[in-house]
Structure 1
Amino acid sequence: MTDRLDPRGVRFAAAVTTVVLAIVLLTGSGVLAALQALVFAVPVVAGMRWSPYGALYRVLIAPRLGPPSDREDAAPVRFSQAVGLLFTVVAAVGYLSGATALGIVATAFALAAAFLNAAFGFCLGCEVYGLLARVRTAR
Structure 2
Amino acid sequence: MSDASRTPASPAGAPRGIDPRGPRFAASITSVLLLTATLLALIGSSTAKADVASFGWFAYQPLTGRDFAFVAGKSWLLPQLSVAQRAADPGFLLLLVIALLFVWGLLSPRTQPWSVLYRRFVQPRLAPPTELEDPRPPRFAQGVGLLVTIVGLILHLAGVPWALVIAAALAFVAAFLNAVFGLCLGCQLYLLLQRAGVVGRAATA
Q: TM-score, normalised by structure 2?
A: 0.62
Unpaired runs of 5+ residues, structure 2, are 1-13, 42-90, 199-205
Query: What residue number does 1:74 align with?
Result: 135
Q: How much has 1:95 moved relative to structure 2?
A: 3.9
SS of the residue corresponding to residue 71 of structure 1 reads strand
Partner residue in 2 for 1:38:
100
| CA offsets 1:31-77 (integer angstroms, 9 cap, x no match) | 1101000111012123x212221111112211211211111000011
Equivalent position SS for 2:129? coil
Which of residues 22, 26, 38 in structure 2 aligns to 1:13?
A: 26
Separation in 2, partners of 1:2, 1:130? 19
Q: Which has the higher helix share?
A: 1
Q: Among all aligned residue pairs of Structure 1 and Structure 2, give the percentage whose two residues are the same amino acid.
A: 43
The equivalent residue for 1:86 is 147
Deviation at 1:131, TM superposition (A): 0.3
Write the distance in 2 (CA, Å) between the matches of 1:85 and 1:59: 25
Query: What residue identity is the alignment partner of 1:106?
Result: A
Shift of residue 110, structure 1, vs aligned partner: 0.7
Q: Are the equivalent residues in 2 in contact too, given 1:30–1:94 (CA < 8 A)?
A: no
Q: 2:181 maps to what in 1? A: 120
Q: Structure 1: which amino acid aligns with 2:94? A: L
- Are the aligned partners of 2:16 and 2:132 in contact in 1 as well (CA < 8 Å)? no
Q: What is the alpha-carbon distance in structure 2 between the residues aligned to residue 3 and residue 104 of structure 1?
A: 39
Higher strand share: 2
Q: Distance in 2 between matches of 1:129 and 1:45?
A: 18
Q: 1:68 to 1:2 in 2, by over 3 A?
A: closer
Counterparts of 1:102 and 1:121 in 2: how far apart (Å)? 27
Letter in 2 for 1:110: A
Deviations 1:60-115 (A, max 9, x none): 21121121111100001100000011111223334444434111111111111101
The answer to whether the 8 Å contact 1:21/1:111 transfers is yes
Contact 2:28 2:175 in 1 (8 A): yes
Contact 2:145 2:171 in 1 (8 A): yes
Q: Specify the alignment match of 2:110 in structure 1.
A: 49
The size of the alignment, in residue pairs, is 136
Contact 1:4 1:71 in 2 (8 A): yes
1:4 is aligned to 17
Specify the structure having the higher radius of gyration (Cα).
Answer: 2
